Structure 1
Amino acid sequence: MNATPIKVLVIDDEPPIRKLLRMGLSTQGYEILEASNGKNALELLAQNPALIILDLGLPDIQGHELLRMIRGRNDSVPIVVLSSRGDEAGKVQALDLGADDYLTKPFGMDELLARMRAALRHQLQVHGERPVFRSGDLSVDLVRRIVKVGEREVKLSPKEYELLRVLVQHAGKVLTHRFLLKELWDELTDAQYLRVYVRQLRQKIEADPERPQFVLTETGIGYRLRAAD
């Protein structure tokens, strides 16, 4: 689907490893930020990556120290550590410092992708979100960003997906026009933009967009997504 890609920060001083990760992750729809040292990595944190892949063997900042520094600035972003060190003490130290998972080089791309998905699911669960939301025939996978109605995958634009994601996060709750406008644009944006995207979303997920079963209108107030089953 055409959803906004998940941004991943890759921190590794080896160009072949960065190239491998860039190629492997890009084909899976991830957006890649690259840092070859700790200083550059700390600068790129300002771009709010959704997940970090961290090599511990960096030239300027010791890996465990960089991990501590990252956690001091962002205590929730999932971090998957890569290292040529396989000793248990190094793994335990990284995990104690806040890493979510640990892979030893050489590693398989399929295993890394699975560990990344698990770390993203865990973050969602910590924040009280379900990795997969289901209401009737509608399912929304918040990790893979896949939306289905029954067995049919629904193709959404980035903004349509963001609207649905916000509704999913607050399923069963009435969300005012002002809240949705502030979440998706800013509260000064014309509410007509919101109505257009709600209409487009309904065209794609509702059996009868004129009689919606999922995205419900609270007249004069806003919208509500039918609660999860």
Structure 2
Amino acid sequence: MANILIVEDEAGISSFVSKGLKAAGHLPTVAATGQDGLHYALTGGYDLIILDIGLPDLDGYQVLERMRGQGVSTPVIILTARSSVGDTVQGLESGADDYMAKPFRFEELLARVKLRLRAETTAGPSLNQLQVGDLIMDLPRHQVTLSGKIIDLSAREFALLEAFLNHPGQVLSREQLLDRVWGYDFDPNSNVVDVYVRYLRRKIGNGWITTVRNMGYRLSEPTNSHDRK
């Protein structure tokens, strides 16, 4: 299951794509404007972005260029009514990974989504170590160290920290964390994520994981040495 951002201002199209992705087992989020799409892309920790060009404020090219300019490397599939060679070239040169013209068949879009996600998955496991500052996770050894000291984590704490380390500096919602770590549908009454975040904070220090109100949690290196373990 992948977290996929759909940036599309036509409600009929975004609903159609969203329902199809849900049926395929993914977790879609819809943004109807370029500004909202850019905000989500910069903070949401998505696995893939489906981006329209003709948006009501920032156009898709601007969204893409600003994303790439701020270091967001998430794969992007442009889905747009603009189908000229010039538009295709501009999209790819702006940093898109694929370009698909409307009207489209959902089966083809889903095939391209699978291809991009598979490419990311294939590239990802070659990394044996995740690191933010002096917080290091050794994946093959299933070991975490902080400033050279081994941190004893349960399997669930390790999986939660891995989710954060895979998206440093990005906000992950409770829904995303539940999906990635626990693997079941989001229950708005569950506080299991909050409980395990507290467990992690006790073990690695309060300064590493910050709460972003009404959005979720973000892991980043503490600027204050007092906040380190």
TM-score by length of 2: 0.56
1:184 to 153, 159, 164: 159
Q: Does 1:25 align with 2:27?
A: no
Instruction: Letter of the 1:95 partner, please give it.
Output: L
Mapping 1:144-223, distance limit 5 Å? 170=139, 173-176=140-143, 178=151, 181=154, 183-185=158-160
Q: Does 1:94 align with 2:110?
A: no
1:16 to 12, 24, 27: 12
Task: List runs of 5+ in structure 1 lacking aligned partners.
Answer: 131-168, 188-229
- Which is greater in Rg? 1
* CA deviation map 1:91-119 (0-9, x unaligned): 11111121111110011111001101111
User: Hey, what's the Cα distance between the residues in 2 that align with 1:179 and 1:113?
Assistant: 41
Q: Give the Å deviation of 1:185.
A: 3.8
User: Hey, what's the Cα distance between the residues in 2 that align with 1:179 and 1:27?
Assistant: 38
Q: Give the Å deviation of 1:29.
A: 1.1
1:12–1:70 Cα change, 3 Å: same
Q: Does 1:37 align with 2:33?
A: yes
User: How many aligned residue pairs are there?
Assistant: 144
- The equivalent of 1:67 in structure 2 is 64
Mapping 1:71-90, distance limit 5 Å? 71-90=68-87
- The equivalent of 1:52 in structure 2 is 49
Answer 1 or 2: higher relative contact order, Cα 8 Å, separation at least 6: 1
1:123 to 117, 120, 139: 120
Q: Report sequence identity in percent.
A: 33
RMSD value, Cα: 2.6
TM-score by length of 1: 0.56
SS of the aligned residue for 2:4 comes to strand
Q: Give the Å deviation of 1:47.
A: 1.8
Task: List runs of 5+ in structure 2 lacking aligned partners.
Answer: 128-137, 145-150, 163-229
Instruction: Letter of the 2:107 partner, please give it.
Output: D
* CA deviation map 1:68-126 (0-9, x unaligned): 01222343211000111111111111111211111100111110011011111222344
- The equivalent of 1:111 in structure 2 is 108
SS of the aligned residue for 1:89 comes to helix
User: Hey, what's the Cα distance between the residues in 2 that align with 1:26 and 1:186?
Assistant: 26
1:122–1:40 Cα change, 3 Å: same
